[in-house]
């Protein structure tokens, strides 16, 4: 479960691409992407199986236990 | 009948009738150079989980800089529901309405599932996508996919990555004869001559990936495919001569030599 970290900031346990991830940011998708080192323009995002349109990203606040999928393009025919 | 002067997909005209895929290249640099050499304007990409170990991997930005239109595929989807979700994610990322529907549940032969493909196409066309289905070379299914609003049909020449060329040629001819939308051969092509043959048959375009990516020199092969597709399309428009079951002489057969003393 999430809570207050020793740094005083909130952290939460979420799943990112099937792996446990301790998120210490504000819970916004932008801070999560920054944490992961992902370029915001180069990824698509699902939260709890819902596709998040780019325009709606800013309005999302993650909560403990959320499952996030971050997807990007790779080579394909 | 199909070969129009213009190649139009989803209301957009394209000069190049060669679509290329981005899989199997040895590096991003080779891939970009090959795409440039191919002259392709439509380029397929696949969607995968972002690599948390290698966050700097980015195929998207260089492709955008190249100025091509991205066609995300739904590879990895095993059914219509997964394909629809993959298409929505692809659209979020690419900003393009194009989608290549690709549902092949069996990794051994990668043959498209006709029922799930049909269902996915129906939903995606309704949702405003420009739908390009990878499909078995089946004229009945092709017509059904046209009826639900696909922008083109993409019958396979032979199994994906097999390099067995146009083993379905006769079926593709039947599809072309009946089709009111562009027919694009997708999968199986190995040699530029096969791409030219597909165009001579009346295909509107061809999609090539492995034949370029796995060639000895992918960039040179991409250029060769560009020429072959242009030649095939030009030949189709010029009109191939009629075939005959017997010889038809090209030189006069008058026996004038018989009258000349030896």
Residue range B184-215, pLDDT digits in tens: 999 999 999 999 999 999 999 999 999 999 99
> Does A9 have pLDDT greater than 60?
no
In SS3 terms, B92-114 reads as HHHCCCEEEECCCCCCCCCCCCH
Instruction: Name the CATH superfamily housing domain A16-71.
Output: Beta-grasp domain (3.10.20.30)
Record: contact B55-A52, CB cut-off 8 A: no
In tens, the pLDDT along A15-67 reads 999 999 888 888 899 999 999 999 998 999 999 999 999 899 999 999 999 99
Q: Which residues contact B48 (CB under 8 A, 6 or more apart)?
A: A71, A72, A73, A74, B76
* Neighbouring C-beta atoms of residue B208, cutoff 10 Å: 29
Domains of chain B with bracketed CATH: 7-259 (3.20.20.70)
Record: contact B93-A75, CB cut-off 8 A: no
Residues of B in Cβ contact (< 8 Å) with A37: 55-56
State the nearest Cα–Cα gap between A8 and chain B, in angstroms.
26
Give the tokens for residue B151: 């922008």
Residue of B nearest to A21 (CA): B52
Q: Can you give the pLDDT at residue A2?
A: 54
B125-143 burial, b if ≥16 CB within 10 A, otherwise e? Answer: beeebbbbbbbebbbebbe
* Residues of A contacting chain B (CB within 8 angstroms): 16-19, 36-39, 41-46, 51-54, 69-77
What value does the mean pLDDT take over residues B146-171?
Answer: 95
Residue from B57, B92, B99 to probe the interface with A (highest A Cβ count within 10 Å): B92
ipTM of the complex: 0.84
List the one residue out of B145, B147, B142, B198 whose CA is nearest residue B168.
B198
Q: Which residues contact A6 (CB under 8 A, 6 or more apart)?
A: none
CA A18, chain centre distance (Å): 12
Name the catalytic one among B100, B122, B143, B230: B100
Strand partners, B98: B130
Q: Can you give the pLDDT at residue A10?
A: 66
> Does B241 have pLDDT greater than 90?
yes
């Amino acid at each position: 479960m999430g809570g207050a970290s020793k740094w005083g900031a909130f952290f939460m346990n979420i799943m990112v691409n099937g792996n446990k991830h301790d998120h210490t940011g504000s819970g916004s998708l932008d801070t999560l992407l920054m944490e992961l080192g992902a370029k915001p323009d180069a990824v698509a995002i699902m939260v709890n199986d819902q596709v998040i349109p780019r325009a709606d990203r800013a309005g999302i606040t993650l909560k403990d236990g959320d499952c996030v999928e971050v997807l990007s393009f790779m080579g394909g025919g | 009948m199909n070969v129009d002067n213009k190649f139009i997909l989803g209301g957009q005209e394209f000069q190049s009738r060669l679509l290329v895929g981005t899989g199997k290249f040895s590096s991003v640099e080779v891939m970009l150079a090959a795409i440039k050499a191919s002259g392709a304007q439509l380029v397929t990409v696949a969607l995968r989980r972002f690599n948390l170990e290698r966050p700097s991997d980015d195929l998207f930005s260089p492709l955008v800089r190249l100025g091509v239109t991205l066609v995300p595929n739904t590879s990895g989807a095993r059914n219509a529901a997964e394909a629809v979700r993959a298409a929505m994610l692809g659209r979020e990322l690419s900003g393009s309405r194009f989608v290549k529907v690709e549902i092949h549940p069996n990794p051994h032969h990668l043959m498209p599932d006709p029922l799930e493909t049909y269902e996915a196409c129906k939903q995606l066309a309704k949702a405003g996508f420009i739908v390009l289905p990878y499909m078995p070379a089946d004229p009945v299914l092709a017509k059904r996919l046209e009826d639900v609003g696909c922008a083109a049909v993409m019958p396979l020449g032979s199994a994906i990555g097999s390099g067995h060329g146009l083993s379905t040629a006769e079926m593709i001819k039947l599809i072309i004869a009946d089709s009111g939308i562009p027919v694009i051969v997708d999968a199986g092509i190995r040699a530029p001559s096969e791409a030219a043959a597909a165009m001579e048959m009346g295909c509107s375009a061809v999609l090539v990936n492995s034949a370029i990516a796995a060639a000895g020199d992918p960039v040179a092969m991409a250029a060769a495919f560009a020429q072959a597709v242009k030649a095939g399309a030009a030949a189709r428009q010029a009109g191939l001569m009629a075939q005959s079951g017997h010889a038809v002489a090209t030189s006069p057969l008058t026996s004038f030599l018989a009258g000349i003393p030896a």
